[in-house]
Structure 1
Amino acid sequence: MQNILITGGSGLIGKRITALLEAKGKTVAWLSRSQQSQKSFLWDVEKGKIDPEALEWADAVIHLAGAGVADKKWTDERKKLILESRTKSTQLLHQAIEQATMKPDTFISASAIGYYGFDTGTNLMEESSPAGHDFLADVVIQWEAEVKKIESLHLRTVMLRIGIVLDKEGGALGEMLKPPVAAPLGKGDQWMSWIHIEDLANMFVFALEKTTLQGIFNAVSPNPATNYRLTHEAARAKGKPFIGIGVPGFVLNLILGEMSQMVTGGNRVSSQKIQKAGFDFEFPILIPALKDIFNG
């Protein structure tokens, strides 16, 4: 029986991964600031504290922890939290793994397609494509650098650069369909590299179980869509009115500030590397993915 330790386990993705792993007979525990109904070990990233038993217990770690990027307006304080919740949590895990006498053999970390920059136009971004030069790209660069330090401890390390996660319970779809009438953002021609939450959770399990897998992989569906199309199809799948006139960029900037660049820009990202490694998508096409989410 394999013991899997998950950070950020109580989030949407973490809960889904937990359910999949437990269905496969694996024992799952969460690293948490408080005791959970789920088996858990305590840690406190701000205080730099972690239960040393956690890493002695774990055969593998799935690292999902990090403050939500789109949850609140980007004040200087919020930006600091977005960065440090990722870098400091990874540093704490590195320290605990280094000190453990029985170390996990696998470390799988979330990352983000924000690495490529806010707006890469129509270019197809691959894992080897250059990093962007904005706030989110800088966050991902620093985050991945900390994960690479864990790799140097001779653990098999996988990083999944996650795109826009489609799920009924929240995330991007919840925000897009919150207004009474759905509408594209900005011009609407910006690319959105999306992934169904089920495929994302399955990809983490795939990365765990395929012991030859190592390195960085884009966690996006094979068929990105424009903001216009994604919004239109999501509204249709939910039975919500759609208006084809985009919310102007200056309005989004007034409401969201710097964060507006994240929604008016876009990325067209390739999933070819993970597919070549043997991963099969259950929902590679947008309309069936949305139908499953809203009617499944």
Structure 2
Amino acid sequence: MTGSSGLLGTALVKALRDDGARVVRLVRRVPRGDEEAFWNPAKGVLDPAVLEGAEAVIHLAGVGIEDRRWSDEHKREVVRSRVEGTRTLAAALAGLTVRPATLLSASAIGFYGDTGDRAVDESSGAGEGFLAREVVVPWEAETAPAREAGIRVVLLRTGLVLAPEGGMLARILPVFRAALGAPLGSGRQYWSWISLDDWVLAVRYLLAHPEISGPVNLTAPEPVTNAEFTRVLGAALHRPTMPLAVPGFALRALLGEFAQEGVLSGQRVLPRRLLDGGYTFRHKRLDEALAAVL
């Protein structure tokens, strides 16, 4: 597994080890013990022997999109970290004599661009914008060598993951607990979310179902608007929310270019392939998910 020290990777490593699996973490420092191995995706360094005998490879590594303002350099690093890492891993997998059966590779619902009120699923094409065209499309394309070598490739198009210890929810909780939560921009943009528990369970489900390949939306079946998210989160915390929305111009001044694609735009994304495949969500509704994670 790459990206094993992040929010998603940490939770998934624990779940897989609790299942009895041996997880080898690919790290970019000196390994500590035989359950870590070194790789350097920027330089294409990965000893193929590390992958020999693996049942599956899970690739989650990439620079955080929201880590800082979208300068030109940060945007280049967002793209580079995803494209170079996926390229290094897919090439190493394709070159193996005995290959893992499965590669689960991180992706994002940013693939769909701003969908407005339109619901989209895995059959929908790529949208417009930096995240769709310059990040997700080339990121996913780099898995091609693994797929062409006969490895089952699943693209984990992940939405907003709800967990109090990290991600967007951790950033906004202090604001809502101070009774300062408010809709952002119009409030009509859709936020497609998934609880951390369901994300981990869905990935384990995909590992166990070899008939599923290609893009899979990791989102709950009931996306909500930003205004509804604001209302439900305030209710879950027993805190009032502000009656007036934070205007778009203020968000652009605060967050820069990220504000438009990361906050003011939205995706109404449905997990069609998970539902059709028989996956049962633990948290279908936002109020249920927030009650559980908080």
Gaps of 5+ in 2: none
Gaps of 5+ in 1: 1-5
Q: 1:189 to 1:84 in 2, by over 3 A?
A: same
Who is 2:128 aligned against?
Answer: 133
Q: Give me the whole-angstrom Cα distance separating, in 2, the residues matched to 1:172 and 1:284.
A: 19
Amino acid at match of 1:13: L
Who is 1:271 aligned against?
Answer: 271
Q: Give me the whole-angstrom Cα distance separating, in 2, the residues matched to 1:229 and 1:107.
A: 36
Give the Å deviation of 1:291. 0.5
| Number of corresponding residues | 288
Q: Give me the whole-angstrom Cα distance separating, in 2, the residues matched to 1:148 and 1:244.
A: 48
Amino acid at match of 2:16: L
Who is 1:18 aligned against?
Answer: 13
Who is 1:124 aligned against?
Answer: 119
Who is 1:9 aligned against?
Answer: 4
Give the Å deviation of 1:38. 8.5
Who is 1:185 aligned against?
Answer: 184
Q: Give me the whole-angstrom Cα distance separating, in 2, the residues matched to 1:229 and 1:15.
A: 30
Amino acid at match of 1:19: K
Are the equivalent residues in 2 in contact too, given 1:220–1:271 (CA < 8 A)? yes
- SS, match of residue 289 in structure 2: helix
Question: What's the Cα RMSD here?
Answer: 1.5
Q: How does 1:68-79 map to 2 (within 5 A)?
A: 68-79=64-75
Q: Give me the whole-angstrom Cα distance separating, in 1, the residues matched to 2:245 and 2:80.
A: 34
Q: 1:235 to 1:38 in 2, by over 3 A?
A: farther
Are the equivalent residues in 2 in contact too, given 1:173–1:234 (CA < 8 A)? no
Who is 2:107 aligned against?
Answer: 111
Who is 1:90 aligned against?
Answer: 86
Instruction: Using structure 2 for the length normalisation, give the TM-score.
Output: 0.94
Instruction: Using structure 1 for the length normalisation, give the TM-score.
Output: 0.93
Q: How does 1:1-296 map to 2 (within 5 A)?
A: 6-34=1-29, 35-36=31-32, 39-117=35-113, 119-138=114-133, 139-179=135-175, 180=178, 181-261=180-260, 262-294=262-294
Give the Å deviation of 1:102. 2.4
Q: Give me the whole-angstrom Cα distance separating, in 2, the residues matched to 1:290 and 1:94.
A: 36
Are the equivalent residues in 2 in contact too, given 1:7–1:62 (CA < 8 A)? yes
Once the two structures are superposed, residues 125-176 of structure 1 have per-residue CA deviations (whole angstroms, 9 ceiling, x without a partner) of: 1112121121000210001111133211100111121111111101111222
- SS, match of residue 143 in structure 2: helix
Amino acid at match of 1:217: V
Once the two structures are superposed, residues 73-99 of structure 1 have per-residue CA deviations (whole angstroms, 9 ceiling, x without a partner) of: 011110011111111001101221133
Q: Give me the whole-angstrom Cα distance separating, in 2, the residues matched to 1:53 and 1:90.
A: 17
- SS, match of residue 266 in structure 2: coil
Amino acid at match of 2:252: N
Q: Give me the whole-angstrom Cα distance separating, in 1, the residues matched to 2:69 and 2:278.
A: 39
Amino acid at match of 1:268: R
